[in-house]
Chains A and B, each alone.
Chain A
């Protein structure tokens, strides 16, 4: 069996990123889109930690991962508050319906 190395983690991270990208591209539900963003942020974190482990002797990658998690928490709080605001105005969170600004 092959030794587990940097490439294995990077492949997993790529697959999760692609799933998140597909989610963001195709979802009509705003919360579904936010979940896709969470997937993308997680895959980026996995990259940070994989490189921090296999390609560096410092903990800088882990620091960045912690800041990414912090920003993801802020993003989720604000994003979901906006979604609730959209629901109060449009009574749906289908992003196709929220086109008031469109010509």
Chain B
């Protein structure tokens, strides 16, 4: 039964990676460091998805977030930051009022979380979810699934139009 003793250790390791990286994203003065810390958060999150028996979502998280969004973010940083002032490229303002607001939010949310009263069910063994998710996508969730393809197409075209504005001006 070594699995049962390993579960908390892995959880606390992943939680530490996730939370410390998230703090790095929020507090680092260098936006490159923020982006790399974001990768730590995303990978830690993927590990926790695995611990919640959500194997497909964890893989999608790695593909879309780490492979897509993070690379996109790094490209955007490289295209917009002046290399000279990279070390101060991620300044913050108003930290004190933000901390106050954060404190209020933290008290409310942690009270709600620790207060409990959730409707719990017995946790079964982790089973592969891909077949069930695929069936759900093409039966109960067919309409959102098709709408998602429309949204992604619109986002694709919109991103191209937005970032190619200077070519349109050249043509007159």
Contact = CB atoms under 8 A, between A and B. Distances in A.
A62 B133 CA distance: 8
Interface residues of A, number: 71
B69 A72 contact: yes
A16 B25 CA distance: 10
Nearest to A51: B118
A52 B54 contact: yes
Q: Interface size bucket, B side?
A: 35 or more
Interface string B123-154: 10000010011001100010010001001101
A54 B123 contact: yes
Interface string B61-101: 10011001100110111011000000001111111001101
A69 B65 contact: yes
B15 A8 contact: yes
A66 B80 CA distance: 30
Nearest to A42: B45
Interface string B96-118: 00110110011001100110101
A73 B152 CA distance: 8
B144 to A, nearest CB: 6
A78 B163 CA distance: 9
Given A73-B64, A76-B73, A18 B48 contact: no
Interface string A1-13: 1111011111110
B149 to A, nearest CB: 9
Contacts, number: 219
Given A16-B41, A78-B162, A38 B69 contact: yes
A71 B159 CA distance: 14
Ranked nearest first, the 6 interchain pairs of A and B with the lowest CB-CB distance are A74-B155, A19-B22, A81-B162, A25-B98, A26-B92, A81-B159
Contacts of A81: 158-160, 162-163
Nearest to B103: A18
A46 to B, nearest CB: 6
B114 A29 contact: no
B1 interface: no
A74 B148 CA distance: 10
A83 B165 CA distance: 13
A100 to B, nearest CB: 16
18 contacts: A6-B118, A10-B113, A11-B110, A12-B48, A18-B102, A23-B25, A28-B92, A29-B89, A39-B41, A42-B42, A54-B120, A59-B133, A62-B56, A62-B129, A67-B148, A74-B152, A84-B79, A85-B163
